[in-house]
């Protein structure tokens, strides 16, 4: 059975760094892209970026480029989302999701992780 398991909730202070993870199992991890999606409190879904674990090819939403780093380590079937300096406005739930094909522009985000709540507060 296919799973994406994300790391646990985090409470951080402004200016701190953070790296959250998303571990895939039950499928060939290197055959699919992993997307990251933000959901701010009471708001909708926002696409942040995507990574292909096989070669670490990475693409970003213009809204998030330079604000976060998306990466992957295929040796441990895990994708990552990281911040170098958090802001209070980064408080949100972050989801990872699997995407079969990126360049064909037709694949859905077919399986989602359980989400990681990141709270940034002084």
Partner 1 sequence: SYDLTQPPSVSVSPGQTAIIACSGDNLGDKYVSWYQQKPGQSPVLVMYEDYKRPSGIPERFSGSNSGNTATLTISGTQSMDEADYYCQAWDSGTAPQVAFGGGTKLTVL
Residues of this chain that bind partner 1 (CB under 8 A): 35, 37, 44-47, 50, 59, 61-63, 95, 97, 102-103, 105-115
Nearest-approach distance from CB 111 to partner 1, in angstroms:
8
CB 80 within 8 A of CB 34: no
Instruction: Map residue 90 onto helix, strand or coil.
Output: helix
Nearest-approach distance from CB 13 to partner 1, in angstroms:
26
Q: How far is CA 90 from CA 30, 51, 94, in A?
A: 29, 20, 10
Nearest-approach distance from CB 99 to partner 1, in angstroms:
8
Which tokens is 74 given?
């295929």
In the bound state with partner 1, the residue whose beta carbon lies nearer, of 41 and 122, is 41
In the bound state with partner 1, the residue whose beta carbon lies nearer, of 3 and 13, is 3
If one counts every other C-beta atom within 10 angstroms of the C-beta of residue 94, the result is: 22
């Amino acid at each position: 059975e296919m799973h994406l398991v994300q790391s646990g909730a985090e409470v951080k202070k402004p200016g701190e760094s953070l790296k959250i993870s998303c571990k895939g199992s039950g499928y060939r991890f290197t055959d699919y892209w992993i997307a990251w999606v933000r959901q701010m409190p009471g708001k909708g879904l926002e696409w942040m970026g995507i990574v292909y674990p096989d070669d670490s090819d990475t693409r970003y939403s213009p809204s998030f480029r330079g604000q976060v780093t998306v990466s992957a380590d295929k040796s441990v079937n895990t994708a990552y989302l990281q911040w170098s300096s958090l802001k209070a406005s980064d408080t949100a739930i972050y989801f990872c999701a699997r995407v079969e094909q990126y360049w064909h522009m037709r694949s859905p985000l077919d399986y989602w992780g359980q989400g990681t709540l990141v709270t940034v507060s002084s």
